[in-house]
Structure 1
């Protein structure tokens, strides 16, 4: 039986916003289609398994990013080849920022990024906190944003979602954008974790991994999790329109 292999990279350092929930959702969406999966946790200094289908990287503060920085940069070519091979990567928050070209800090210093995703990041003094809804070509996404950064895309074609409510991570013409997609690598700032709330986005990721493996995925069997996700999404949609978005001055 073909198995889909999942890796959560740096789970101890970059996993502060429920990022294990994103991994669990990918496992469940595969299981609902009769596809087995295996999950490995890979930390600093540990090699990635040779035949990985999906890499998930979570969020963390600047101190955690500095802690994994050297190891992350050392993996740059491997991650670049991973993406070029149409494997699936999903990163949120701090790890997503580090996958770009660089992070400019508010004190004038900067941190070199891994350089495998097409954007630069500037940390700001305005912290964007609140619920967010995003329209992507493949799924409507709801969730929570909590970040103090502005992204500048170096490849506009990588813009993946338009913000319906909230602030998002970057400008997209006269609108705001959230999520960047380069081949099968999808990254953004929607936290919470985001995939349990958005099974359709999780399905984009598992479908990409399965297609690369030559698997024809059947429809998912119904699950109570789908109803929970729908209820939570509906509540967030109502809350967004009632309360709106807040910015915290740092």
Structure 2
């Protein structure tokens, strides 16, 4: 068996290196001896059959505008996949595009895919946090954030965690979790710097495919290197 990973809009939404999330998932799966199929989808292409994991990264407001029409066409399929338990990881602008709506300015409101019950006001002051820290079920998630948005979760929508350092959604919380779908403002890329988070998503995916994900000494070697990078950012957190 194999795990299929689909990255949406890699040609438009790779501003903060978020394509590394797809590669991090693939690498960890391959180290465990699991075959991986990596796919990408860009405007005007065929979406293809249902994958096991979908990732989407961040980009500019102009990229969001440019993608709106194409996103509207594929949104019903994305929502169907999410309801079926496909794992989604959406970062930054991609997170916003998979929400309900994004207000870009006083005259422009974009409709999102509706996987996350969130609304986004993209008129906030720009936030750049070099050491963006989030506390939650995965321990300390660490990375960077770079956005100009206030994100409001609908009643009953859970965040990924609480902000230790940075802005996140804008209310002390960060991200959103709906079923197997995770949205975040965390970059770095998120799954490269946070193996516990990556392994959680992999666990959800392999549960659907019937594979067994077992880490080994190769994962330990990789994670030891990642720990050094994490420590650099962790040391920048306020004491």
Query: What TM-score do you get using the length of structure 1 for normalisation?
Result: 0.89
Describe the superposition over 1:8-29 as per-residue Cα deviations: whole angstroms up to 9, x where unpaired: 1111111121122111100111
SS in 1 for 2:198: helix
What corresponds to 1:138 in structure 2?
Answer: 138
What corresponds to 2:150 in structure 1?
Answer: 150
Give the conservation status (yes or no) of the 8 Å contact 2:134–2:161: yes
Match of 1:210 among 206, 212, 223: 206
203-212 or 224-233: which moved more? 224-233
SS in 2 for 1:205: helix
Give the conservation status (yes or no) of the 8 Å contact 1:133–1:166: yes
Give the conservation status (yes or no) of the 8 Å contact 2:104–2:122: yes
What corresponds to 1:80 in structure 2?
Answer: 79
Match of 2:235 among 232, 235, 238: 238
Moved over 4 A (4+): none
Give the conservation status (yes or no) of the 8 Å contact 2:10–2:41: yes
Output the CA distance in 2 between the equivalents of 1:114 and 1:42. 15
SS in 1 for 2:44: coil
Output the CA distance in 1 between the equivalents of 2:104 and 2:214. 46
* 1:90 Cα deviation from its structure 2 partner: 0.8
For residues 173-184 of structure 1, the aligned pairs below 5 Å read 176-184=172-180
What corresponds to 1:64 in structure 2?
Answer: 63
Output the CA distance in 2 between the equivalents of 1:13 and 1:140. 29
What corresponds to 1:163 in structure 2?
Answer: 163
72-81 or 133-142: which moved more? 133-142
Output the CA distance in 2 between the equivalents of 1:116 and 1:211. 21
Gap change, CA 1:139 and 1:35, over 3 Å in 2: farther
Give the conservation status (yes or no) of the 8 Å contact 1:127–1:148: yes
What corresponds to 1:246 in structure 2?
Answer: none
Output the CA distance in 2 between the equivalents of 1:74 and 1:207. 30
Output the CA distance in 2 between the equivalents of 1:78 and 1:225. 35
Q: RMSD across aligned C-alpha pairs, in angstroms?
A: 1.5
What corresponds to 1:228 in structure 2?
Answer: 225
Describe the superposition over 1:60-85 as per-residue Cα deviations: whole angstroms up to 9, x where unpaired: 10111111111111111111110111
Output the CA distance in 1 between the equivalents of 2:186 and 2:54. 17
Output the CA distance in 2 between the equivalents of 1:125 and 1:179. 17
- Structure 1 unaligned spans of 5+: 243-250
Q: How many pairs were matched up?
A: 237
Query: What TM-score do you get using the length of structure 2 for normalisation?
Result: 0.93
* 1:108 Cα deviation from its structure 2 partner: 4.4
SS in 1 for 2:193: coil
